[in-house]
Structure 1
Amino acid sequence: MTYETRTRAKIGVLVPFSNTNLEPDMMLMRCPDTTVHFQRMGGYDADEIPGSSQMAGLGASDIRLDLRMISGVRPDVVLYGCTSATLTHGPGFDEKLAQDIKAGSGALSFTAAGALVGAVNALGATKVGFSSPYLGEIKAQAVAFLMHNRIATVKCADAGRELGNYGQGELTPDEVFDLACQADHPEAQAIVLSCTDMRSLEAAGRIEAALGKPVVTSNQAMMFAAMRALGLPRHENVPGRLFDLL
């Protein structure tokens, strides 16, 4: 019998407590000989529509206890698994939160929003199509966040209706595929699918085949950032052109 040694790396992930898709996605992408560990975060009302103020509140909430809990596994990297919680505050806040998580955990740290930017930059794209379950102010804040990082959004698409915290996670991969196609534009060099609770990972390969362009999802981007920082090799369970860059 062959046993997995699990010695290569430990990845910690902070997850909004109502999120149902980030954990399965990270386990699907897990590199052999690594482990992934999760700590759920509060700081918001799961029964409210996740608007800008609610997500900003999550980003600003006290995560010191969460960091103490995830630090118990002595992770090599800690990922902050909510995109809108930091982009609603802007780039400066996002960067400082990553620094604070590093200081509080003793591990490397990447936020979902920061990892999206890093992934798009790694692909060499400066113009993107953007799709998410966000409506209204958060969508505008996401576009501004990308623009601050010299990434222009040439077309946006969304679900067209208000989705609650659980509704975002209930979008099917087929619905995500349609959202990605709606966000495509002749000038778009890549398609960004923002939201750690959206089932984008399962649709990524199909979207790339249909559009002939790379796809960057929030969860892909975080795993890519972790793998690149830790020197982990590409393996068969990571979908998308992004991972060809490892």
Structure 2
Amino acid sequence: MTTIGFIYPDHAAEDDYPLAEQLLGGTDVAEGDIRLPVAHIYGTDLHAVPELLDLGSEARLAEGAGLLAKHAPDAVIWACTSGSFVYGWDGARDQADQLAAAAGVPASSTSFAFVHAAQAIGVRRVAVAASYPADVARLFVDFLAAGGVEVLSVSSADIDTAAEVGTLSPEAVVDLAVRHDHPDAEAVLVPDTAMRTLGEITEIEQKLGKPVLTANQVTIWEGLRLTGSTRLVRSLGALFRVRG
């Protein structure tokens, strides 16, 4: 059995994780069970730089690692995009290293997951459909650029809190991704783990005619990557239809 632990801020769209566990467990039992426990840490859910820096602090993530310890995870992921990219590339690397030290296992974050996922499916030019305010969305663009991913267009829905993002309907999620495509983009990125997206990936990709990478999708994939537990799951999009 492979266990990947996720540190998730507050509550919004964490039900994407048991859904993913169900989908992953149904692929091939010969490959072994996948468990995706989620531990919650709490702070403000405001999409603003000072609050995000606090949310992703070493102390808060160490708390999350402690909550996950009872599950004996094989890897731990900080399941928060804005709470990782807000530190910049080097700061986010330090953040992941500190989390790995606290957890005693390999660690990463959703921001790095986006870069690694884009590399895995061979895309370098993307559109970003963000729920964040514009200043926060711009920091994600800068992070992607540091990872070699060019953003051709970025939208900002100007939603101030994760709780509000979590109330978006499936139709609103699909519309956000589809409306903010760019004709020259090789994929569309939807970067908020507070947004439920796993059930909408297939529809979005069908409407776009190209891959979509969403925050909870890439976060789960990153955990699998760290543990060498790649799975092929057609309903989870183009990312889960490639190995390695």
Normalised by the length of structure 1, the TM-score is: 0.89
Within the candidate set 6, 9, 16, 1:13 is matched to: 6
Tell whether the 8 Å contact from 1:88 to 1:141 is kept in structure 2 after alignment. Answer: yes
Q: What is residue 45 of structure 1 aligned with on the other side?
A: 44
Aligned AA (1:25) = D
CA distance in 1, matches of 2:93, 2:220: 18
Query: Deviations for 1:128-175, whole angstroms, at most 9, x for unmatched residues?
Result: 01012101210111111111111111112232x433231111111211
Identify if the C-alpha distance between structure 1 residues 101 and 136 changes in structure 2 by more than 3 Å, giving closer, same or farther: same
Give the Cα–Cα distance (whole angstroms) in 1 for the partners of residues 58 and 73 of structure 2. Answer: 22
Q: TM-score, normalised by structure 2?
A: 0.89
Secondary structure of residue in 2 paired with 1:62: helix
SS in structure 1 at match of 2:112: helix
Which residue does 2:241 correspond to in 1?
244
Q: 1:235 to 1:243 in 2, by over 3 A?
A: closer
Aligned with 1:71 (options 61, 65, 69): 69
The yes-or-no answer on 1:137 pairing with 2:128 is: no
For 2:151, which of 143, 148, 153 is the aligned residue?
Answer: 153
For residue 56 of structure 1, the aligned residue among 32, 39, 53 is: 53
Report the counterpart of residue 4 of structure 1 in structure 2. none
Within a 5 Å distance, the mapping from 1:166-245 to structure 2 comes to 166-236=163-233, 238-245=235-242
Residue segments in structure 1 that go unaligned for 5+ positions in a row: 1-7
Which structure shows the higher helix fraction? 2
Distance 2:78 2:235 in 1: 19
Within 5 Å, give how 1:81-120 maps onto structure 2. Answer: 81-120=79-118
**Closer, same or farther: CA 107–238 of 1 in aligned 2, 3 Å:** farther
Distance 1:126 1:187, change over 3 A: same
Distance 1:245 1:50 in 2: 33
Displacement of 1:53: 2.0
Q: Deviation at 1:50? A: 2.2
- Taking the aligned partners of 1:233 and 1:105, their CA distance within structure 2 comes to 22
Change beyond 3 A, Cα 1:238–1:99: farther
**Cα displacement (A) at 1:26:** 1.4
CA RMSD of aligned residues (A): 1.7
Contact 1:157 1:182 in 2 (8 A): no
Rate the CA distance shift 1:158–1:136 in 2: closer, same or farther, 3 A.
Answer: closer
Q: Secondary structure at the match of 1:163?
A: coil
Deviation at 1:237, TM superposition (A): 7.2
Following superposition, the deviation at residue 71 of structure 1 comes to 1.6
Runs of 4+ deviating beyond 2 Å: 63-66, 161-165, 228-238
> What's 2:159 paired with?
162
Overall identity of the aligned pairs, in %? 27
- SS of residue in 2 equivalent to 1:102: helix
Partners of 1:69 and 1:228 lie apart in 2 by 22
Are the aligned partners of 1:29 and 1:238 in contact in 2 as well (CA < 8 Å)?
no
